[in-house]
Chain A
Amino acid sequence: MSDISFSAILPELILCIFGILVMVLGPFLGRNSRSFGGTLALLGFATSIVGALLVPESAGKLFFNGMVTTDAFSIFFRVLFAAIGVVMTLGSLNYLHRLKLPTFEYFALLLFASAGMNFMVLSTDLLLTFIGLEILSIATYVLAGIRRDDAASNESAIKYFFMGSFSSAILLYGVALIYGSAHSTSYQAILKHAAAVNGQQQIPLLFLIGFGLIIVGFCFKVAVVPFQVWAPDVYEGAPTPITGFLSVASKMAGFAALIRILFQVLPHDLPQWVQLLVVSSILTMWIGNLSALTQTNIKRMLAYSSIAHAGYILIGIVAANQTGITAILYYAVAYALMNLGAFTIITILSGRDDRRVTLEDYKGIGFQYPQLSFPLTICLISLAGIPTTAGFIGKFFLFSAAVEEKMYLLAVLAVLAALVSVYYYLRVVVYMFMFEPDGKREVRIHPAAGVVVLVCCLLIFWFGLFPTWLLEVSRQAVILFLHP
Chain B
Amino acid sequence: MDVILSLIIFLPLIGAIMLLFVPRESINTHRGVALVSSLMALVASLVLWGHFNPATDAFQFQEFTEWFQIGTVKIHYFLGVDGISLFLVILTTFITPLAILGSWAIRKHVREYMIFMLVLETGILGVFLSLDLVLFYLFWEIMLIPMYFLIGVWGSKNRVYAAVKFFIYTMAGSLLMLVGILTLFYLHAEQTGIQTFSFLQLRDALAAGELVLPHQAELLLFLAFGLAFAIKVPLFPFHTWLPDAHVEAPTAGSVILAGVLLKMGTYGLLRFCLPLFPNASVELAPWVCTLAIVGIIYGALVAMVQPDVKKLVAYSSVSHLGYVVLGIFAFNLIGAQGATYQMLNHGLSTGALFLLVGMIYDRRHTRLIADFGGLAHRMPVFATFFMIITLSSIGLPGLNGFVGEILILQGAFLDNILYGVLAASGMILSAVYMLWMYQRVFLGKIRHAENEALTDLDLREKLILTPIVIMVVWMGIYSSTFLRPMDRSLDRALAGVQAVRAEDTVLEIREARLEQPIPAHRTEAVPQND
Question: Which residues of A are interface residues toward B (Cβ below 8 A)?
Answer: 322-323, 326-327, 366-367, 370, 381, 386-388, 392-393, 396-397, 399-400, 403-404, 406, 408, 411-412, 415-416, 418-419, 422-423, 426, 429-430, 433-434, 466-468, 471-472, 475
Contact = CB atoms under 8 A, between A and B. Distances in A.
B175 A419 contact: yes
The 6 closest A-B pairs by CB, nearest first: A415-B175, A387-B138, A403-B182, A468-B68, A471-B70, A434-B152
B70 A475 contact: yes
Q: Considering residues B138, B168, B178, which has the most beta carbons from chain A within 10 angstroms of its beta carbon?
A: B178
B160 interface: yes
B138 A418 contact: no
Q: Considering residues B109, B148, B160, B182, which has the most beta carbons from chain A within 10 angstroms of its beta carbon?
A: B182
Contacts of B68: 393, 466-468, 471
Nearest to A435: B160
B176 A412 contact: yes
B28 interface: no
A416 B175 contact: yes
A419 B171 contact: yes
Contacts of A370: 112
Interface string B319-359: 00000000000000000000000000000000000000000
A422 B167 contact: yes
11 contacts: A367-B109, A387-B138, A393-B68, A400-B73, A415-B175, A415-B179, A416-B172, A419-B172, A426-B148, A433-B153, A466-B68
B128 to A, nearest CB: 16
A85 B163 CA distance: 38
A418 B109 contact: no
Contacts of B134: 396
Given A323-B70, A400-B186, A415-B179, 14 more contacts: A327-B70, A366-B153, A387-B139, A392-B138, A396-B134, A403-B183, A412-B179, A416-B175, A419-B171, A426-B167, A430-B164, A433-B153, A434-B160, A475-B70
B69 interface: yes
Nearest to A463: B68
Interface string B420-452: 000000000000000000000000000000000
Given A411-B182, A430-B152, A434-B152, A388 B70 contact: no
Nearest to A406: B186
A367 B163 CA distance: 18
B141 interface: yes
A20 to B, nearest CB: 41
A197 B392 CA distance: 79
A408 B144 contact: no
Contacts of B112: 367, 370
A418 B183 contact: no
A430 B160 contact: yes
Q: Considering residues B144, B149, B172, B175, which has the most beta carbons from chain A within 10 angstroms of its beta carbon?
A: B175
A471 B168 CA distance: 29
B360 to A, nearest CB: 25
B142 interface: yes
B145 interface: yes
A294 B109 CA distance: 30
Contacts of B164: 423, 426, 430
B385 interface: no
B71 interface: yes
Contacts of A475: 70-71
Interface in B179-205: 179, 182-183, 185-186
A430 to B, nearest CB: 5
A412 to B, nearest CB: 6
Contacts of A411: 179, 182
B167 A388 contact: no
Contact of A386 (B144, B160, B185): B144
Contacts of B138: 387-388, 392
A398 to B, nearest CB: 11
B175 A434 contact: no
B253 to A, nearest CB: 14
Contacts of A399: 178-179, 182
Contacts of B137: 387
B186 A423 contact: no
Given A422-B171, A426-B148, A434-B163, A326 B176 contact: no
Interface string B72-90: 0100000000000000000
A385 B168 CA distance: 13
A387 B185 CA distance: 19
A422 B170 CA distance: 11
Contact of B73 (A323, A412, A419, A430): A323
B263 interface: no
A418 B179 contact: no
A185 B179 CA distance: 42
A323 B183 contact: no
Contacts of B179: 399, 403, 408, 411-412, 415
